[in-house]
Chain A
C-alpha cells in the first residue's frame, strides 16, 4: 500500500465516521431521554435522503403525505387522552402542532415540487418533513407506552422500523436514488484531494455537533433534556414533562438522521432499505459509547469509519462482517468491567 491509498482510505473513513458520529449521538440522546433503542434511526436517514432526492428531481415525495396522516392520528390520540379535561387552549395547541404544521409542510412541498429549487430549499423542506414524522412517531408509538420496560420499547421500535421501511418502499420504489451534491468544488492538498461534498460533510457535522453542545449546555430546554436523561423523577418534580423531553429527543434524532441522509445521498446511491445498515453502524458506535457517553461515541464513530474503509479495501466481501464484529470485544470488555446488573426495576 502506498501513502496515497492510505491517506485516501483514512479520508474516506473520516467521512463515513462523521455520519456515524451524528447517528450515534442521536441514538445516545434518544436512549438517555426515553430509554428507546431507536432502530428506525436508519429510516430517518433513508427518508431524509430520498425525500431530498425526490424533491431535487422535481417530484412530490410521499413522506409529506405520511407526515399529514401521522399528524391526524396524533391529533386523535391527543383528543382521546385529554377527553376528561378538554380546554379550548389544549385542543388549539394540539390542532396547531398535529394538523396545521404538517399541512403547511405539505402545502410548501406541493408548491415547491416541479420547480427548480435551490439545494438549500430542498434540504430545509426534507428536514422539516422528516422532523414532523419523527415527532409524530414518538407521539403515536412511544408516548403511550413511555412507562413500560426497555424490552417493550425495543419491540415497538423494531415494529416502527419495519412499518417505516415498508412505507419507504411504497413512496420511493425499489430503485435507488441519488441527489445533487451540496458543493461541486474540489480541493487538492498535496496527494490528497477533497470533494466539495466530503468537505460539506465535515463542515456540517462539526457545526451540528457545536450547535448540539451549545443547545445542551446553555439553553433551558437543552438542560431540561439532560435533566430528564439524568433523573426522570427529578425532572418531573420540577415540572419538566417526560413527553415534552421525548418529543424533543425524537425531533432532534429525526433531524440528525435526515441530515445524515442528505449528506450521503450525493456520494452513494440509497435504496429504501439502505438506512437500516447505516443506522446499525450508528448503533455499534453508540454501544461502544455504552449508550451514555457522547465523547466516546464520537471517537468510536471515526474508529468504525476508518475500519470500514480499510476493510472495504482489503476484504470488501467481509466489510460488514468486520465492522459488526467490532462490537464483540467491546461487549466482552464492558461486561468484564461493569458489575452484573439485574433487569431494571422502574
Chain B
C-alpha cells in the first residue's frame, strides 16, 4: 500500500539555524503515526512545514500529489489539516461559527454531515455551541480545534501536542477520540511530549532529537526500546 503522506529529506531553517535536518517520514492510510521527542527537538517545526506554514527544502507528497509548491489553503483543500499547538481558534466567535468556518472549503450538504459527526465525537461542543470560543476551558478549546479541523473532512489530521496543559481525564478523552478517528478512516500524525500515551495508540513512531530522527519503527517496538524507555518513558513504564 502506498503511503498517504511522504516527506523526503526535509531541511527546515530559521535564518542560519537549521532546526530540522534530512528528515523523512511516511504516514499510511488509516494509520496513527506519532513523533515523540523532547521540547525543542523540531517536532512542531516539522508539522508546520508539512502544512506550508514554514518554508522547507525537500519533498512533500500527499495522496500522490506534490505539495511542496502549494499554499496552506491548497493543502487544506487536498485533505491535509493541522491542529496547531496554540489552536488558533477564532476567540471572539461562537463555537458554532468556528466549526462552520472549518467547513469553509466544502459543500453545504457535506458540512451538515460534518456538524453531526463532530457533535457526536465531542458532545460537549454541542452544549456550548452558542458560547464564544475564547471563553471555553483549555480542554474544550482543544476539542473545538480538533472539531474545526474535522469539519473540513480531512484525510490526514496533524495534531500538535493535543494534551499540552490539560487535565489527565481530558487527555484520556482526547486520545480516545484520536483512536476513533482512525476507525472512521482519518489518518493521524501526532506530535506529543506525552510519549507514553502517544505510543499506546500509535501504529508507527519516530523519535526526534535535535532536529533529526534517531529511531523509527512500529510503536510497540519503540515503546520497549531501552533507550526510549530511559529517555522518554522513565520509571512509569518499567
Binding site for B on A (CB under 8 A): 84-85, 220, 223-224, 226-227, 230-231, 233-241
Is B101 close to A, CB under 8 A? yes
Between A84, A235, A239, the greatest number of chain B beta carbons within 10 A of the residue's beta carbon is seen for: A239
Is B91 close to A, CB under 8 A? yes
Q: How many A-B residue pairs have CB under 8 A?
A: 67
Q: Which residues of B contact A220 (CB under 8 A)?
A: 100-101, 104
- In the complex, A314 Cα to B53 Cα: how many Å? 57
Binding site for A on B (CB under 8 A): 51, 53, 69, 71-73, 76-77, 81-82, 84, 87-93, 97, 100-102, 104-105, 148-149, 151-152
Q: Across the two chains, which residue of chain A brings its CB closest to B87?
A: A234
A238 and B69 contact, Cβ closer than 8 Å, known pairs A227-B93, A231-B88, A231-B90:
no
Closest CB of chain B to A214's CB: distance in Å?
A: 14
A240 and B73 contact, Cβ closer than 8 Å, known pairs A220-B100, A233-B53:
yes
- In the complex, A233 Cα to B73 Cα: how many Å? 10
Q: Which residues of B contact A235 (CB under 8 A)?
A: 90, 101
Q: List 12 A-B contacts (CB under 8 A).
A: A85-B69, A220-B100, A230-B91, A231-B88, A233-B88, A234-B88, A235-B90, A235-B101, A237-B88, A238-B76, A238-B152, A240-B73
Q: Which residues of A contact B89 (CB under 8 A)?
A: 231, 234
Q: Which residues of A contact B51 (CB under 8 A)?
A: 237
Closest CB of chain B to A83's CB: distance in Å?
A: 12
A230 and B93 contact, Cβ closer than 8 Å, known pairs A237-B76, A238-B152:
yes
Contact check, B90 vs A237: say whether CB atoms are below 8 A apart.
no
- In the complex, A84 Cα to B74 Cα: how many Å? 15
Q: Which residues of A contact B87 (CB under 8 A)?
A: 234
Closest CB of chain B to A76's CB: distance in Å?
A: 20
Contact check, A223 vs B93: say whether CB atoms are below 8 A apart.
yes
- In the complex, A333 Cα to B92 Cα: how many Å? 25
Contact check, B84 vs A238: say whether CB atoms are below 8 A apart.
no
Partner of A241, one of B69, B73, B82, B88: B73
Contact check, B104 vs A224: say whether CB atoms are below 8 A apart.
yes
Q: Which residues of A contact B76 (CB under 8 A)?
A: 236-239
Closest CB of chain B to A98's CB: distance in Å?
A: 20
- In the complex, A235 Cα to B104 Cα: how many Å? 10
Q: Across the two chains, which residue of chain A brings its CB closest to B81?
A: A237
- In the complex, A230 Cα to B90 Cα: how many Å? 6
